[in-house]
Amino acid sequence: MSAQECLFCRIAGRSLPAEVVGEAEGLLAIKDRNPQAPTHLLIIPTEHIPTLADATDGHTALLGRAVQFANRLARQHQLVPSGYRLVINCGAGAGQSVWHLHFHLLGGRLLRWPPG
């Protein structure tokens, strides 16, 4: 899939609208259009990486920045006291539906285990 066809590449390139809630080096955070919790944010790299399995050693710093960015967003959205979940779905069998690596940050309600 090319960047022109990728939903998240188009959002990151600002050619598609989204509710942006934060930016960090190489990362963008948006509100999920189909939230599964009161707070449901998507953290997307601005570089097109189809799945977590496609990430290389060269992406190690980016992945670390994404986790720290998620922590900052969780604090900003007051999720830390009650807890939050950070999820990456890798592949169709795991529930990935957009073929661009992204993290789901969920919180604001009791999150049960197992998730589904």
Are the C-beta atoms of 31 and 19 separated by less than 8 Å?
yes
Distance CA 32, CA 19 (A): 8
**φ and ψ of 51, to 5 deg:** -145, 170
Distance CA 73, CA 69 (A): 6
102 is catalytic: yes
Set 48, 100, 102, 104: catalytic member = 102
Q: What is the radius of gyration, based on Cα positions, of the chain?
A: 14
Distance CA 28, CA 22 (A): 6
Active-site residue list: 102
